[in-house]
Amino acid sequence: MALEGHRGVFITFEGVEGSGKSTQASRLAEALAERGHDVTLTREPGGTPLGERLRQILLDLGERGMTQEAELFLYLASRSEHVASVVEPALSRGGVVIADRFGDASVAYQGGGRSLGAALVERLNEVATRRVKPDVTFLLDLDPGTGLSRLSRRGSGEKDRIESEEVAFHERVRDTYLRSAEREPERFVVLDGALDADSLARLVMAEIDKLLESRRKG
Ligand code: TMP
């Protein structure tokens, strides 16, 4: 599982809206930082000043009319900046990078949700990521209806541009994530997003312990 050309460890969290991935990403970051690791917790879209500006545009309900292709390219633009200025530098100094969403999100949302096709998005991801791939990807799998109702219970205000898509869109996102996980079982760890946060954190930590142990041996 070693990343060619990189010494660090790259961990990503993925899932439908309300799947609990952000909570797990920050809990893992905290736990690894406590153990003395050099941890970078980051997110997409975002993670850089330009990325955060692109995030505002992408989630803005006022941008409802944007074409699917423009949407895809804006996510890829954010990813390119993120890889070049955050992910690669942290990995090359031997750090642990934890990203709340990465390339698999574009495959699931734009490839699947928007029906642009997984293969096209995977090819464009190779350009945006300079072929930097996560060592491990946690997919918090959850029924999209349950995830969306968690969001409204949280009372986090008005839904953003993507959250307000119809349930069928979010179903396609979930299915595409699951198909990606099937294609790359050595990278993906699929967890039940319906589990409570403490149980999920324990499962995540057990996987990371295995990964770090194999790095020490390797
Ligand atoms: P968040 O829910 O993790 O904050 O992500 C923001 C939204 O952007 C979420 O609805 C998923 C969506 N998204 C895509 O559609 N494509 C992508 O490539 C990424 C990274 C996120």
Domains detected in the chain: 9-217 (3.40.50.300)
Which of 68, 79, 109 is the pocket-test mutation for ligand 1 (most atoms within 8 Å of CB)?
Answer: 109
3 state DSSP class of 60: coil
Please tell me if the CB atom of residue 105 comes closer than 6 angstroms to any atom of ligand 1: yes
The type of residue at 9 is V
CA distance 194 to 146: 9
How much is the CA Rg of the chain, to the nearest whole Å? Answer: 16
pLDDT in tens, the chain (218 residues): 333 445 899 999 999 999 999 999 999 999 999 999 999 999 999 999 999 999 999 999 999 999 999 999 999 999 999 999 999 999 999 999 999 999 999 999 999 999 999 999 999 999 999 999 999 999 999 999 999 999 887 766 788 999 999 999 999 999 999 999 999 999 999 999 999 999 999 999 999 999 999 888 77
Burial 38-70 (b: 16+ CB within 10 A, else e): ebbbbbbbbbbebbeebbebbeeeeeeeeeeee
3 state DSSP class of 55: helix
Please tell me if the CB atom of residue 162 comes closer than 6 angstroms to any atom of ligand 1: yes
3 state DSSP class of 117: coil
In 3D space, the residue among 11, 4, 2 whose CA is nearest the CA of residue 130 turns out to be 4
